[in-house]
A and B are shown apart, each in its own frame.
Chain A
């Protein structure tokens, strides 16, 4: 679905005064696009993601999805957090089935379709390389496995938009690279609209059709970069000159290299 962000400004008011997290952000994300939101900590990218999800209402501006104004949490979105946020008392399969179970209790017409969603949960787990872990509990999983379960859960109800908030930020570099490839494979098969928050530039370039670059304090849209790399993307893409060029383009927009040492370090934090 097409997402239109119009003049989004968000101000957090706290005890010590107010902080402008986002200022006048406008962008149009086309149906099926993979879009990364990139910027240093404090640029409001996670806040923007929550505004798109309808979890936060922006101070000014609007989000329209397929022409419809959003003010409550999106009914048809999957959300993946930085942490897996699995329910430790549920098995892997029961965690993936959670959205269906909640919906089926609210909407009785979904009850007879349990088998269908169970099959879908199994095939998602298989796609994520987790077949055989159905009955495992979250404490038995590694960080990477737990995050894959969280992605399966987000995809169970076949959402039209997938919102991901630094989903691989807590993982080691190798796991991150592998999960990037797996995520792309999943995405290629369904082509959902994806909002992907990260501060890892190569990750953003490797995954995205477009990279939206933000500045910190306040978060402003610095650049909207279309990544000119062919799809489907294989890991070897990361070793091409074209890939390097794209990361340099994003990096230049962030002006990290020009900043003095102290603020440069803060920007990378």
Chain B
């Protein structure tokens, strides 16, 4: 029980330490607040502009979750198809990889051109970032089914569908979940990045505006809000993963 509590308390102690040092640095050096606002100034923004920060973040969060869901699903289906067929793997893999490693800053202008400013192009950026780690993991999981397990399937014997449903799917499930965990972080990155590069709505757009007005306090407050949502979502997912994969961990 003590150990469990420390999972929460240790990072909190570290956080307090950072804030204290940060405050000291701003007071002692008298650095200009545009360069480095004090934690108190940022805290002030967090309270006075809380409504705006929260509603902007929720706008972003909704797209992030939608993109994550679609990307996860597309990634799963693509992974299963590619994992099951070596022909498709050979044919599609180079394209999937090039799509993923392409800097999103390059694709965003194209998407804007085709789909215009709005939720859809944001969604597209997120889906693109989420699906690849999921696909990669699902393929690894399916191909990782041991030779003996396949032989067991043949000797039982299992039908093709049974082999897929009863052996391959459960085998790759832990990999799928790990892919989703990477995917959710990618979804946050994609959502905020899309908003900053083409401000329209959401927390990223508010931050982009604050950059233009040198409102560093607001940028930092925005970062804190994003971090809070990101961490909470990530650990919630990790928790669900542990519950679902009790037989694995």
Please report A residues at the B interface, Cβ cutoff 8 Å.
50, 53, 55, 73-75, 77, 79, 81, 83, 85, 87-89, 98-99, 102-103, 105-106, 137-139
Contacts and interface: CB of A to CB of B under 8 A. Distances in A.
Nearest to A150: B152
A102 B246 CA distance: 24
B49 interface: no
Contact of B155 (A77, A89, A106): A77
B158 A102 contact: yes
Interface in B189-237: none
Nearest to A138: B247
A85 B152 contact: yes
Given A73-B157, A75-B157, A102-B156, A87 B170 contact: yes
A85 B167 CA distance: 11
25 contacts: A55-B151, A55-B154, A55-B155, A73-B154, A73-B155, A73-B157, A74-B155, A75-B157, A77-B155, A79-B155, A81-B151, A81-B152, A85-B146, A88-B247, A88-B248, A89-B173, A89-B247, A89-B248, A98-B166, A102-B156, A103-B156, A106-B162, A137-B246, A137-B247, A139-B248
A89 B170 contact: yes
Contacts of A138: 247
A60 B166 CA distance: 34
A53 B152 CA distance: 11
A79 B162 contact: no
Interface in B141-166: 146, 148-149, 151-152, 154-159, 162, 166
Interface of B: 146, 148-149, 151-152, 154-159, 162, 166-167, 170, 173, 246-248
B68 to A, nearest CB: 25
Contacts of A53: 155
The 4 closest A-B pairs by CB, nearest first: A85-B148, A79-B155, A89-B170, A81-B148
Contacts of B152: 79, 81, 85
A102 B247 contact: no
Contacts of A98: 156, 166
Most chain A CB neighbours (cut-off 10 Å) among B152, B154, B248: B152
Contacts of B170: 87, 89
A138 B167 CA distance: 15
Nearest to B246: A137
Contacts of B149: 85, 87
A137 B157 CA distance: 23
Most chain A CB neighbours (cut-off 10 Å) among B149, B167, B247: B247
B155 to A, nearest CB: 5
Contacts of B247: 88-89, 137-139
Nearest to B169: A89
Nearest to A163: B155
Nearest to B153: A102
Nearest to A83: B148
Nearest to A101: B166
Contacts of B151: 50, 55, 79, 81
A257 B164 CA distance: 49
Contacts of A106: 159, 162
Nearest to A157: B156
A50 to B, nearest CB: 8
Nearest to B159: A106
Nearest to B149: A85
A203 to B, nearest CB: 21
Contacts of B166: 87, 98, 102
B154 A99 contact: no
A233 B163 CA distance: 40
A73 B158 CA distance: 11
A248 B248 CA distance: 46
Given A79-B152, A88-B248, 4 more contacts: A87-B167, A89-B173, A102-B162, A106-B162
A50 B157 CA distance: 14
Contacts of B157: 73, 75, 102
A83 B155 CA distance: 16
Contacts of B173: 89
B144 to A, nearest CB: 13
B238 to A, nearest CB: 19
Nearest to B165: A105
Most chain A CB neighbours (cut-off 10 Å) among B146, B151, B159: B151
B67 to A, nearest CB: 29
B152 to A, nearest CB: 6
Most chain A CB neighbours (cut-off 10 Å) among B155, B157, B166: B155
